[in-house]
Chains A and B, each alone.
Chain A
Amino acid sequence: MTPEQVERAAKIAMIQIGEGEAEILAKELTEIIDYVSMVKDVDTEGVPPTIHVLPISNVMREDEASSFGNREGLLSQAPETENGHFKVPRII
């Protein structure tokens, strides 16, 4: 993995990385990728991709509504609020 790839990944994941960190991370990430690449040696012919780690399916609920009822609790987790809204930075 190149430092440029690390910078791009950091940018789209909105993670700030410090000066010179891209080089270090590129080296470390490359080692991790090399290590886990051994799974490529496994013959997966005819094995469907894993979508979920547990052998469960069709977990659904009936369409019944109930309110959480703690708006103040939710709003209290935000850095800033205004008139019951979450206040967020300007978009453009």
Chain B
Amino acid sequence: MYDKYQPVIGLEVHVELKTKSKIFCTCPVAFGCEPNTNVCPVCGGLPGSLPVLNKEVVNMAIKLGLAVNCQIAEYTDFYRKNYFYPDLPSNYQITQGDDPICAKGHLEVDTDGVKTKVGITRIHMEEDAGKLVHSGDTISTSQYAMADFNRTGTPLLEIVSEPDIRSAAEARAYLEQLKAIVEYLDISDCKMEEGSLRCDANISVMPKGSDVYGTRVEVKNLNSFKAVQKAIEYEIYRQMCALEDGTPLYQETRTWDDGKGVTLSMRSKESAQDYRYFPDPNLPPVYVSREWVDGIRESLPEMPKERKARLIELGLPEYDAKIITSSKAMADYFDACYEKYQEAKAISNWMMGDLSAALNSAGQDFKNSPVTPDMLVELLKFIADDTISGKIAKTVFEEAFQTGKAPGEIVKEKGLVQIKDTGAIGEMVDQVIAANPQSVTDYQAGKKQAIGFLVGQVMKLSQGKANPGMVNKLLQEKLSE
């Protein structure tokens, strides 16, 4: 069935900007406050109040537009989208119309090594709605709802892709790469679970070779990257089955039920909403000078693609560079280490191995890692100069992660310094030779593998602290005497 049909996918992504104040008023943008404490007559939708555009929102929109190869509009304006819903106190959302701030961009997407180009139709600025708490257990049994307008007026950027995406995996890769760019620009927290990054997917399926798109379904309520991929996979399957059976498909909005792993119909789009868009008379248009755009272009930070190329130049394999640059926090951690210690591969091995595993199981990330870059570098230097063995290093790392103590302190406290003194190791070698005459005889009779057992005995005697290379060398010397 899968080889008969071609899925067509487009994504609409919303990111909440981390400005200090809201898009059209000075109320603080903050989370977890008492309900309705960050509300004023403007975002509260009171008649007679006047919105004034926050310049930083335009700056951030231009940043993102430049980072995804968009054309930045010379002229842009704001429209009202009219609808009634209790989370929207003014009864209209201020958004943009036919002249969005950015248009005609693209993102180069790497899906498991396959590179594609996904077009970006437009990026526009708009305001977020408030939050509703429903009484009762479910929305359908609730008697009333309670509205908190703290989030109303939080600036949003909506990024609309072209229907260029062809698989669920590609959709996920696009979203992850877009998120990385937004993170690098430092314009949003990008937490899907908390709603600061949201994604709706438009999905249709058509017979292979056709150029007529199938019936389009919009899927909402995608709260994680995994949900995006699973919901799209499910929806492609559902639509292909319908086409096979001849069951009709409707243009509609469906919601993803993560627990059941299915999409469910929300409302039919046949009675399409009439939003009565018109220009907001309270907001004069904005002309974006080329000097303004150039100024922002010059201030853009290094993007994931360039950063990845730089890490490869430092000597990392492409795979390591891709993993490390997929998150800004991880890439910053790497750079902080590399600044003090120029062994790129040693750093990435520990970051991708023990450190990632420890952070994952502790539910933490690289931004606030208990083992700081300074601590990791200290540990790596101990290994490199043979102060401690690789095995002991793992113990030291765990201890450092748990307690936040510096590796040097731990090594000193626990007496973990590797023994490299020929005299001390020689004594232990003599003891082991004396205690294991059979193995010595075996070795001298040509059973060379017997030395492995003897090395092990010396290591045991030294509590793992003897330098294994020196133990081996001394044993061979003494056994050949």
Contacts from A to B (Cβ < 8 Å): 12, 14, 51-54, 56-68, 71, 74-75, 77, 82-92
Contact = CB atoms under 8 A, between A and B. Distances in A.
A85 B148 contact: yes
A92 B140 contact: yes
Given A51-B279, A84-B35, A90 B145 contact: yes
Interface size class of chain B, counting residues whose CB lies under 8 Å from the partner chain: 35 or more
B53 A60 contact: yes
Nearest to B282: A52
A57 B285 CA distance: 5
A83 B134 CA distance: 13
21 contacts: A52-B283, A52-B284, A54-B284, A57-B285, A61-B52, A61-B54, A61-B55, A62-B56, A63-B20, A64-B21, A65-B26, A66-B28, A67-B37, A68-B39, A84-B35, A88-B86, A88-B132, A88-B147, A90-B142, A90-B143, A91-B145
A60 B286 contact: yes
A13 to B, nearest CB: 8
B52 A63 contact: no
B28 A67 contact: yes
Interface in B110-135: 132-135
Nearest to A48: B75
The CB with the most chain A CB atoms within 10 A, among B147, B148, B284, is that of B284
Of all A-B residue pairs in the complex, the 5 with the closest CB atoms, nearest first, are A85-B146, A68-B40, A63-B56, A88-B86, A65-B21
Given A57-B285, A61-B52, A74-B41, 16 more contacts: A12-B274, A52-B279, A60-B55, A62-B56, A63-B19, A63-B56, A64-B20, A68-B40, A77-B46, A82-B146, A85-B35, A85-B146, A88-B132, A89-B145, A90-B144, A91-B139
Nearest to A75: B36
Given A62-B55, A65-B29, A86 B149 contact: yes
Contacts of B453: none
A65 B149 CA distance: 16
Contact of B146 (A12, A53, A87): A87
Contacts of B387: none
Interface string B252-296: 000000000000000000000010100101011111000000000
A56 B285 CA distance: 8
B284 A74 contact: no
B145 A88 contact: yes
A85 B147 contact: yes
A56 to B, nearest CB: 5
Contact of B281 (A52, A63, A77, A82): A52
A64 B25 CA distance: 9
Contacts of A57: 284-287
Contacts of A58: 284, 286-287
B84 interface: yes
A90 to B, nearest CB: 5
B192 to A, nearest CB: 24
A67 B26 CA distance: 7
Contacts of A88: 86, 132, 144-147
B180 interface: no
B58 A60 contact: yes
A74 to B, nearest CB: 6
Interface in B45-67: 46, 52-58
Nearest to B40: A68
